[in-house]
Chain A
Amino acid sequence: MAPVWTVFIAVLAPVTLGLLSLFLPRPWIERRMVVAGLGPAVAFVLLLATAIDATSALSDAHQAAKHDHATHSSTHDAGDHTATAASHDDGLTTGTLDWMPTLHINIAFRTDGLGLFFALLVSGIGVMVYLYARGYFGRAGPTSADDLFRFYPTIGFFTTAMLGVVLADYTLLTLLFWEMTSISSFLLIGWDRYDKKAVKLAMQAFFTTGLGGMGLFGGILVFGNTTAALGIGPMGLDPVTGEVVCMGIWRWSEMVAYQSEIIGAITAMSPGLMWAFVLMFIGAGTKSAQFPFHYWLPGAMAAPTPVSAFLHSATMVKAGVFLVGRLFPVFAALPLFPQVIVPLGAVTMFYGAAVALRQHDLKRIFAYTTVSQLGLLMTMYGLGALQYTYKDHVFAAIDFDVTQIANHAFYKAPLFIAAGAIGHVLSRDLTQLNGAFYKHKAICGTMMAAALGLAALPGTISFQAKELFLYGIYHVAKDHPWLWLIMGMTVVTAIFNVAICVRVWTTLLGLPGGLTEADGEHHDDHHHEHAHEHGVLANLIWLPGAVIVSLQFLGGIITPLWNKVFGLFEQPATAVNYFQYKADGVPSLLYAVTHPGIPLLMSGIAIGGGILLGLSKLWRDAITDVCDRIYPALYWLAVTGGGRCFRLVQTGNLKHYLLFVLAFLMGGFIWAAATDSGMAHVLHGDEVGRVLEYWPGALIGLIVCATAVLIPLTESRIVRVLFLGACGFAVVGLYLVYQAPDLALTQLMFEIISVILFVIVLRLLPKKKVAPNIGKWWRIPVAASVGLLFGWMTLIAATTDRTETNPGREPLGVTLAQHSYQIKEDEFGQPKIETAMTDDLGSRGGKGNNVVNVILVDFRGFDTLGEIAVLGLAAMGVWSMIPHRSRRKDALTARGYPKGGAA
């Protein structure tokens, strides 16, 4: 078990050192690079140490898986590939730092194969990209120093977020980092703050992946709560009730530990778990640019190339794939799993490659091949849920996922690095690059070498990876014939990839068959250009790419070494793969070639077809992706459509607003009255009669009504104000006769103030008399019914005795009085009001004898606080809307109006 601090420091190192680099003076470019670059380097070293530390645990897991396979191989059990039941502590989880235990978020990390592999990939490629950024932004440009100043902290933020995603053990912690990758990616795509298009594309990426993140959030919550309801997961203390309850699954390690229970629930078709998967897959699919949400990824190419090389090829976009890898051990049992993921991934794979072939901008080409490859990775996990029998052994169709993912990173990052480099010195438009190799050998050489990986030609690890993928499909297709369609799509995708490779080679070498300017001009959308740099450091613009791509060939040629390193990280579940069983790892090139079969034939077709297609005249023009319209359409719908809906409701007319409010009030009240018989009850009780019996009250009520009715019928404003005052003073009288001195006093003061206000304001109004106006006829019944309704409501609140229907609930008046002070019996058995000071209420009490005031400051204290805040705001509105005339004139003069008033 690795100590939690080691991993935690590794995760935080990039952002911390990135922020530290802010303290260096701006012109110190190289020192800045070293300081910031130490971040991922430190992370890499620490994680490598953790990985070496975990080696024994990892190989234990492998052994367990193998052993498990040996014992279960003869049974065709649905849960076989997942039956590698680990003990509850498999030694792959770090200790826990408590953060928010009641919310199921603590800091703990899972150092299993998949997570560690991803973390090493991120930090390793991170180091290379940090170096490349120095070469890319350079020293010569006018904004270089400023760019690098901002760049390193931002990319450090991203690196930390990404390391967090892949290492976090708590599901919600993963989500937290997941959203941080969205935010940092947004910042990096919109790097050029003054380029409106880049900012728009950054928003597009942010919204798409952010909404997916909401899906993931929902999925995690549904999963945790469903498992808690099903009783799967560790027991713990409920933070509210203090009882021992099942907490549910909130950690990835728990997911593995309770694997068999969860699979049991999944096979029992628990709808909660199914929805959890669907929601989480929405997060994974949008992040990993699955069709039709792939549009954000090519759009994200507005980012500087170091960002594209890092985020949008090697790391962030694979977060979705990674998530599916995390979910795979349990959710593979879901019948939905292959049925959703395989077709979706395959369509993405095919579509991406088809569009990639018809692009001219190098970054767009590679962006679409990235989309394609992400589709392939998804398909791979989908296939992993299927099994086939071969020579009496049951094998999972999943191939080496770590190899597949590493393979893509090792050719795609160099491709981007080289694309950015060539864009610097020449152009990123492939039609402009005919014969570029002879001018810039190192850059073009790197790109061409990486393109071999893209085409999956023999000699690269890519070849074996594609071979394994085809092998998996071929064997499962025997039981699932529809997979032949996927096989066809894969081969066509491979043909497109080879064709792209052929076109890159022929164009850069200036051979016949390469693209020329005659193939149409395509303006690349974001061109970063500055003076060409010379010197040792200038090599940083291609060298990191060359370093990364060398791993492709290392793996392709010396496969046993690759197996030794990367085989360690392969998920234990994949150990029941055929080759793991038979060849102990990824087969070598020799093995692949000497064991011919359908997969090898398919590879041959792909290479042959690809070369033909690449040299042919077909599909040489550039097209735009139709899916690019999805986001603008949604954006239009949200902004314009939303605005129209908004204006439908928000008319800006005070009368309409009032009508809405009153209508809803009445509707709600009628609904409540219809469902609660107690509310109608008061109307035919004695209460109404008793109100009328008390004649002073009834008389004053009559005055109130009469004055209110008279207001709209009079012509003079002064008379109206007087009637309003009379109405108010009548209400004061009403309070007095019903013995509410507090209310009477308040109302009295309020009436005085409002009369003063009216007297002041009336002088400002036009002298013209107002016509008596009662408005539209239907306002009368509305107003009358609202008035009656309020009366009814008051009657209910004051009188309803609910002790029969709802024991323990007395009329409101009694409850409030009892909680303000306590009624005790005195020595003669009579109720005696004890004052607050001698009381020991024990419970929450207002501790005052004035019930009205206790309501205001205690029971409804929050309301009062809110009300005085609103009053303050209203006053501020008055002060700002009626500024002093002298100041107004100043302001107008300052804006260029002539003195003496506004034009």
Chain B
Amino acid sequence: MSSLILRTANQFIVPVTLLFAAYMALKGHNLPGGGFIGGLIAAVSLVLYRMSHGRAAMSRIMPFHPRVMVAAGLAIATLTGVVALCFGKPMLYSEVIYIDLPYTDAAADPFYIPSAFFFDVGVMLVVVGISVGMIVRLGEEIEEVDEA
């Protein structure tokens, strides 16, 4: 399942889609996007990479089992919810954190991070982990069948 054209194209496509995925995940709070979409986009690009470059190359850019991402994502999402409890708010209570960045006009366009951002990151990690994990696993199954 590997062609030169796909492999060459992927050299450019994968980094760009990964960047796009991150962008989608980050802007999701106020504009179309979100952790789920970002995760799916990243998963698609990673799966494409896996298909064109093979198992060895994949384990170079992702040197761990995807379940690590699932676990980390679930932990981050749960923690985000629990942190609100520590402040006496209901679980998963949304709050925004303002940060003064240099060279920006804080009054006109303040920079802030919503607590949901961390939640979205958790969701994204879980989605990437399971999509990549399941598809790659099934792909390996095919390769093994072909080898056998």
Contacts and interface: CB of A to CB of B under 8 A. Distances in A.
Pair from one complex = yes
Nearest to A865: B77
Interface string B117-148: 00110110011011101110111111011001
B47 A872 contact: no
Interface string B16-59: 00000000100011111111110011011001000000000000
Contacts of A882: 137-138, 141
B116 to A, nearest CB: 4
Contacts of A862: 91-92
A587 interface: no
B8 interface: no
B2 interface: no
A52 interface: no
20 contacts: A746-B37, A749-B40, A756-B47, A764-B141, A764-B142, A836-B96, A837-B112, A844-B90, A847-B95, A848-B94, A850-B28, A850-B32, A853-B116, A856-B123, A861-B81, A862-B92, A868-B74, A876-B67, A876-B70, A882-B138
Nearest to A864: B123
B92 A875 contact: no
A878 B137 contact: yes
Interface of A: 741-742, 745-746, 749-750, 752-753, 756-757, 760-761, 763-764, 835-837, 844-850, 852-854, 856-858, 861-862, 864-865, 868-869, 871-872, 874-876, 878-879, 882, 884-885
Contacts of A752: 44
Contacts of A854: 29, 94, 116
A753 B67 contact: no
Contact of B140 (A746, A861, A875, A884): A884
A844 B93 CA distance: 8
Nearest to B109: A837
Interface size band for B: 35 or more
Contact of A858 (B33, B40, B92): B92
A871 B129 CA distance: 10
Given A742-B34, A764-B141, A868 B94 contact: no
Contact of A849 (B29, B77, B120): B29
A155 to B, nearest CB: 41
Contacts, number: 161
B44 A847 contact: no
Contact of A753 (B47, B92, B112, B144): B47
Contact of B44 (A753, A856, A875, A878): A753
A466 to B, nearest CB: 62
Interface in B65-113: 66-67, 70-71, 73-74, 77-78, 81, 90-96, 98, 110, 112
A482 B82 CA distance: 66
B15 interface: no
B128 to A, nearest CB: 11
B98 A865 contact: no
A879 B133 contact: yes
Contacts of A749: 37, 40-41, 43-44
Given A763-B145, A864-B123, A853 B77 contact: no
Given A764-B145, A850-B29, A857-B120, A746 B40 contact: yes
A875 B29 contact: no
Contacts of A869: 74
- A-side binding surface: helix, strand, loop or mixed? helix
Nearest to B44: A752
Nearest to A749: B40
Contacts of A846: 94, 116
A864 B120 CA distance: 10
Contacts of B110: 837
A837 B110 CA distance: 8
A356 B121 CA distance: 71
B81 A865 contact: yes
Contacts of B29: 848-850, 853-854
B20 to A, nearest CB: 11
A773 to B, nearest CB: 25
Contacts of A764: 141-142, 145
B107 to A, nearest CB: 10
B138 A868 contact: no
User: Which 8 pairs of residues, A with B, have the shortest CB-CB distance?
Assistant: A749-B40, A861-B92, A875-B130, A857-B116, A741-B32, A849-B30, A868-B126, A848-B29
